[in-house]
Amino acid sequence: EAGVAQSPRYKIIEKRQSVAFWCNPISGHATLYWYQQILGQGPKLLIQFQNNGVVDDSQLPKDRFSAERLKGVDSTLKIQPAKLEDSAVYLCASSPDGAGEQFFGPGTRLTVL
């Protein structure tokens, strides 16, 4: 079974630029999550989708971050404009439902200069 795929794996941008990350969850997984993991900290949930609907985006900085999962499969996370403090690893995870184990992708390491 293929795992959660993410791209790119690494991205370096300058502050005020835009960036987008892509995630393809495990086939058949209805729930998709985006996490931000700052160096030295645990992952922090940004947004949770159930199929193509948003379940929880309370921790998403909506003035600069946006995410979508239009067809209930792939998802993109965008930052516009980026700030220095957005430097982090962005993890995507999926689960068959919203209650059990989450399966994580390898992450995208973003560096904002």
Partner 1 sequence: AQSVAQPEDQVNVAEGNPLTVKCTYSVSGNPYLFWYVQYPNRGLQFLLKYITGDNLVKGSYGFEAEFNKSQTSFHLKKPSALVSDSALYFCAVRDQTGANNLFFGTGTRLTVIP
- Which of 4, 60, 82, 88 is in the footprint of partner 1 by CB under 8 A? 4
Q: Which one, of 79, 76, 91, 109, lies nearest residue 34 by Cα? A: 91
Q: Which of residues 34-63 bind partner 1 (CB under 8 A)?
A: 40-45, 48, 55-56
Query: If binding means CB under 8 A, how many residues of this protein chain bind partner 1?
Result: 23
Of 30, 108, 96, residue with least CA distance to 69: 30
Binding region for partner 1 (CB under 8 A) out of 11-19, 64-72, 75-83, 105-113: 105-113
| Shortest distance (Å) from residue 101 CB to partner 1 | 5
φ/ψ region of 76 (left if φ > 0, alpha if ψ in -120 to 50, else beta) reads beta
